[in-house]
């Protein structure tokens, strides 16, 4: 925001210089980025944070500088003549506040016999120094007063309004209007308008309409000043992508005390500069002035800040910030002024004291005491799992804990029952989920309907179950994921186990679980390194059944996994072991063998692991399966890639050929394999 030194000075009884103002504001929370010399004055570019709308005006900045300098803020009266001394009212202006929830207060003044002309040099120079374009004496006054007080105003050509009241209403769906910038906007029922009996006059709080703008032919001016509900202004501004100096202030909140003052000040200036007569003042509604009583304890200040502040210093600062402080011993009672919406707690007042008193008065210690919590392996395991899956292209979701009964039944074990809430109000989604998959699949369906066909999703959260033999439900933590096919999901599970449980190996044993397709799913076993205990069962992985696909109206087959998270987390290895990078290149050979349909990839893996002893075989990677001619109907061709390496030197073809022959022989005798040629 641009602040002109010569516009602030009249409000403070202490002389100001631009360098001092820059230093004072920057050290109290308002960074001054630049100082511009405009010829007539020095202008500061001040960064005002969104929680301080009171400082989006020269009076607001002057209030801060008055406290910082030890001076006094001086706001002169608006100067408008008493109503009894004005000419008799002849304008039949009425206001219809039809949307008082969106506009709690609306006021207007009519200035008659105004001569619209170019602004005098002092006014045009002041407006232009603040980054605005000088238009004419009426429009420039509204902009000038806006920058002084922070209260947006708008001037209408009174003669271009149709007979009848000025109406503050919401728009009709599809209603259109042309703004003063020439843009035609299509409105919705959520947009607030200032209108007459026939047409919209302004997009409330944002921009005026072209049909009622001030022109050189204007003689009678209708000046408005109002209080609008901030959320509605912000919503309309963002939806239409229209922002203005007015909207930026209304959506953050304006000072109710300035609504009438700004209108009266602007009306008198328009009358003085344009030779007009203030004839009519009218208002409707009530200004919302939210104020709080807050207790401030100086001992609380001392504990939080680490240093004591003198009672008199605290009282002077709070008095200068207009908090009307009253003290009872070391306790101070404050009443928040109408312009400080951001102050509601004791700690807010403490922050205000430190900010004005000076951060430099708070001593900096060379050491900071901080208690380091012990490592939490469960939390570290969760972070590692999220990092691994996100790195592999999976997206984490958070789904609702309750599901519909048909969804729960799809994944309910045969020995369990549905956990239904006893709440008559909750008619749908009234069952605690027995699985994370319903929530994931609902999200997959939403992504599918939005055009994302292959959403990879995962979630770590609680599920609930109760067996038919027990009376108490059980809560358990699970990790579930969905993917495009079984190999996709199995690969992610393998990656997860390799990243969390160093040295452990994955094995899939055929098994059918609720919701999964028979013959295309299995239980997940994790084998510890050699010499450890028996394998640990941690969950299920496989292709989802046709009932599930149909229930969620999915257009493609889908695979999923659901794992016992505590069992997986218990395998977590916090400290990873590093190995040196290989010095010599690997030799890769593809191998395809024909085996019976009943032979599983895990059978081939186990056999190759047993055969690997004494050979150069380093790794076996699954490539794919082929069924069809010329392979017999009850058989399949399994293709794999074998990786050979000698850590001491480069392998020769003869060495690899010998290993290949030994592997082929082992496959022929171990699983009845036949080399596919």
Q: Which residues in the chain show pLDDT less than 50?
A: none
- CA neighbours within 13 Å on the CB side: how many for 290? 9
Are residues 89 and 34 part of one domain?
no
Task: Please state whether beta strands 184-186 and 154-157 pair in parallel, antiparallel, or not at all (unpaired).
Answer: unpaired
Question: What residues pair up with 157 in beta bridges, in sequence order?
Answer: 221
Are residues 650 and 610 part of one domain?
yes
Are residues 633 and 530 part of one domain?
no
pLDDT of residue 507: 83
pLDDT of residue 460: 95
Q: What is the dihedral of CA 110, 113, 117, 122, to 10 degrees?
A: -60
pLDDT of residue 570: 87
Contacts of 454 (CB under 8 A, 6+ apart): 484, 556
Question: What residues pair up with 278 in beta bridges, in sequence order?
Answer: 111
Distance set, CA 634 to CA 666, 669, 673 (Å): 21, 19, 13
Q: What angle do CA 22, 28, 32 make, to 5 degrees?
A: 30
By C-alpha distance, which of 227, 314, 232, 249 is closest to 55?
249
Are the beta carbons of 422 and 432 closer than 8 angstroms? Answer: no
Q: Provide the residue range defining the domain that includes 215.
A: 83-285
CA distance 656 to 587: 8
Domain membership flag for residue 367: no
Domain membership flag for residue 76: no
Are residues 494 and 384 part of one domain?
yes
Helical (H) or strand (E) element with 417: none
Domain final residue, candidates 285, 306, 327: 285
CATH code for the domain of 351: 3.30.56.10
Q: What angle do CA 612, 613, 616 make, to 5 degrees?
A: 60
Task: Please state whether beta strands 184-186 and 326-328 pair in parallel, antiparallel, or not at all (unpaired).
Answer: unpaired
Are the beta carbons of 588 and 643 closer than 8 angstroms? Answer: yes
Domain membership flag for residue 227: yes
Are residues 614 and 528 part of one domain?
no
Structure tokens at 455: 């959403």
pLDDT of residue 376: 80
pLDDT of residue 472: 82
CATH code for the domain of 151: 3.50.40.10
Q: How many CB atoms within 10 Å of residue 287?
A: 16
Crossing angle of helices 298-305 and 346-357, in 10° steps, is 70
Are residues 591 and 650 part of one domain?
yes
Residue keyed to tokens 């009622």: 212
Question: What residues pair up with 596 in beta bridges, in sequence order?
Answer: 635
CA distance 267 to 261: 10
Are residues 527 and 452 part of one domain?
yes
Per the rule left: phi > 0, alpha: psi between -120 and 50, beta: everything else, 418 is: beta
Q: What's the number of domains the chain is made of?
A: 5
Structure tokens at 388: 């691994």
CA distance 387 to 383: 6
pLDDT of residue 498: 86
pLDDT of residue 563: 94
pLDDT of residue 11: 93
Question: What residues pair up with 280 in beta bridges, in sequence order?
Answer: 110
Q: Residue 167: phi, psi to the nearest 5? A: -110, 130
Are the beta carbons of 508 and 490 closer than 8 angstroms? Answer: yes
CA distance 356 to 316: 10
Contacts of 470 (CB under 8 A, 6+ apart): none
* End-to-end Cα spacing for the chain: 78
CATH code for the domain of 425: 3.30.930.10
Distance set, CA 6 to CA 1, 139, 145, 476 (Å): 15, 21, 15, 68
CA distance 179 to 193: 12
Q: What is the pLDDT of residues 205-241, one digit of tens each?
A: 999 999 999 999 999 999 999 999 999 999 999 999 9
Are residues 344 and 428 part of one domain?
no
Are residues 511 and 381 part of one domain?
yes
Are residues 12 and 102 part of one domain?
no
Domain final residue, candidates 285, 305, 339: 285
Crossing angle of helices 298-305 and 311-320, in 10° steps, is 100
Are the beta carbons of 456 and 395 closer than 8 angstroms? Answer: yes
Are residues 353 and 421 part of one domain?
no
Are residues 606 and 559 part of one domain?
no
């Amino acid at each position: 925001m641009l602040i002109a030194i010569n516009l602030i000075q009249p409000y403070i009884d202490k002389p100001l210089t631009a360098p001092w103002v820059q230093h004072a504001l920057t050290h109290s929370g308002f960074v001054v980025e630049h100082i511009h010399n405009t010829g007539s004055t020095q202008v500061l570019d001040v960064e005002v944070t969104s929680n301080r709308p009171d400082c989006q005006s020269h009076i607001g900045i002057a209030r801060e500088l008055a406290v910082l300098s030890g001076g006094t803020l001086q706001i002169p009266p608006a100067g408008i003549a008493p109503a009894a001394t004005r000419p008799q009212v002849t304008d039949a202006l009425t206001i219809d506040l039809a949307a008082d929830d969106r506009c709690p207060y609306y006021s207007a003044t009519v200035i008659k016999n105004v001569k619209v002309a170019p602004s005098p040099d002092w006014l045009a120079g002041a407006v232009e120094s603040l980054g605005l374009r000088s238009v004419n004496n009426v429009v420039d006054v509204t902009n000038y007063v806006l920058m002084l007080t922070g209260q947006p105003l708008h001037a209408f050509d009174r003669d271009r309004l149709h007979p009848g009241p000025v109406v503050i209403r919401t728009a009709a769906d599809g209603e259109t209007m042309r703004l003063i910038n020439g843009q035609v906007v299509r409105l919705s029922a959520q947009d607030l308008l200032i209108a007459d009996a026939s047409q919209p006059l302004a997009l409330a709080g944002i921009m005026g309409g072209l049909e009622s703008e001030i022109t050189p032919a204007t003689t009678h001016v209708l000046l408005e000043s109002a209080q609008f509900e901030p959320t509605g202004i912000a919503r309309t501004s963002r939806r239409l992508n229209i922002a203005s100096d007015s909207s930026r202030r209304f959506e953050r909140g304006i000072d109710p005390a300035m609504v009438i003052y700004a209108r009266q000040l602007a009306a008198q200036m328009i009358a003085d500069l344009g030779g007009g007569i203030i004839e009519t003042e009218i208002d409707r509604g009530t200004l919302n002035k939210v104020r709080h009583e807050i207790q401030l304890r100086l001992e609380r200040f001392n504990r939080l800040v680490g240093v004591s502040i003198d009672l008199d210093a605290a009282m002077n600062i709070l008095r200068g910030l207009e908090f009307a402080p009253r003290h009872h011993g070391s306790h101070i009672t404050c009443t928040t002024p109408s312009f400080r919406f951001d102050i509601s707690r004791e700690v807010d007042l403490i922050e205000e004291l430190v900010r004005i008193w000076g951060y430099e008065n708070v001593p900096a210690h060379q050491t900071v005491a901080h208690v380091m919590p012990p490592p939490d392996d469960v939390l570290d395991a969760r972070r590692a799992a999220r990092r691994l899956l996100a790195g592999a292209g999976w997206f984490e979701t958070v789904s609702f804990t309750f599901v519909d009964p048909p969804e729960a039944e799809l994944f309910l074990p045969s020995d369990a029952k549905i956990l239904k809430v006893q709440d008559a109000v909750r008619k749908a989604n009234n069952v605690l989920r027995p699985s994370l998959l319903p929530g994931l699949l609902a999200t997959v369906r939403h992504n599918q309907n939005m055009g994302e066909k292959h959403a990879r999703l995962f979630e770590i959260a609680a599920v609930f179950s109760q067996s038919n033999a027990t009376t108490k439900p059980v809560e358990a933590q699970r990790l579930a994921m969905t993917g495009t096919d079984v190999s996709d999901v199995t690969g992610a599970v393998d990656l997860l186990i390799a990243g969390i449980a160093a040295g452990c190996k994955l094995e899939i044993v055929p098994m059918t679980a609720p919701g999964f397709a028979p013959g295309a799913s299995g239980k997940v076993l994790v084998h510890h390194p050699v010499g450890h205990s028996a394998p640990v069962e941690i969950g299920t992985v496989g292709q989802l059944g046709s009932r599930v696909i149909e229930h969620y109206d999915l257009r493609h087959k889908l695979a999923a996994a659901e794992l016992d998270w505590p069992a997986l987390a218990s395998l977590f290895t916090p400290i990873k072991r590093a190995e040196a990078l290989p010095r010599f290149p690997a030799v890769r050979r593809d191998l395809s063998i024909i085996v019976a349909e009943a032979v599983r990839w895990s059978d081939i893996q186990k056999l190759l692991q047993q055969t690997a002893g004494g050979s150069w075989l380093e790794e076996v990677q699954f490539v794919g399966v082929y069924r069809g001619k010329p392979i017999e109907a009850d058989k399949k061709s399994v293709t794999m890639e074998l990786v050979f390496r000698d850590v001491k030197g480069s392998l020769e073809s003869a060495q690899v050929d010998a290993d290949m022959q030994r592997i082929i022989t082992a496959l022929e005798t171990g699983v009845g394999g036949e080399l596919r040629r």
